[in-house]
Amino acid sequence: MACASSGRVFFIAMRKLTRKQRLFVEEYLVDFNATQAAIRSGYAKPSAGQIGHALLRKTHIATLIESKMQDRTEKLDISQDRILLEMARIALFDPRTMFDIDGNLKDISDLSSNTAAVISSFDVSSMETEEGQTVTVSKIRLCDKTKNLGELGKHLGLFKEDNDQRRGEYSSLSDEELDAKLANARKKAKAEQKK
């Protein structure tokens, strides 16, 4: 939806909503949980699940949610390409880029954007040794490389061969042949039950 039409849809949808429904839309966009959004919007807790589900099915509410999500996506510059780029940064990360030529951890401000994108958290603390020297200890947690490699591989269809190989003897059968095998298996199962 283009930005200009998005604003128009937003205005039309907002006109049709009650105050509680407008609040529901805002609350739903927080965590995408219709039940909790209904509760936070002031609907009765015992029926919040049903109400939340019903509200999501209303065309003007669904349209407003879609419009607001589209606006948010454009505002934050989130796209499939951007998500894939971030996944690729993590999946293809080389940890050597975190260290200088002497093997010392680089200062966080000296890291490239590709390297910095891989860090999920870090903790820097100072400790005193027995000799009275102060030593800085840096603990860095990186994003899960294996998970991101798998997700990228799925997105690119790299595991299709593996999936085809797992299908076994039935993958090359026609529908008629599969139906015949299924009917035969049912007959055998009924015969076994009678014994």
Q: What is the pLDDT of residues 109-126, one digit of tens each?
A: 999 988 998 999 988 888
Q: Which pLDDT score is estimated for 7? A: 52
- Inter-residue long-range contacts of 112-119, CB under 8 Å, 24+ positions, other chains counted: 114/89, 117/86, 117/89, 117/90, 118/89, 118/90, 118/93, 118/142, 118/143, 119/143
- The number of beta carbons lying within 10 Å of the beta carbon of residue 108 is 14
Judged against a pLDDT cut of 90, whether residue 79 lies above it is answered with: no
Least confident of 2-11, 17-26, 59-68, 156-165: 2-11
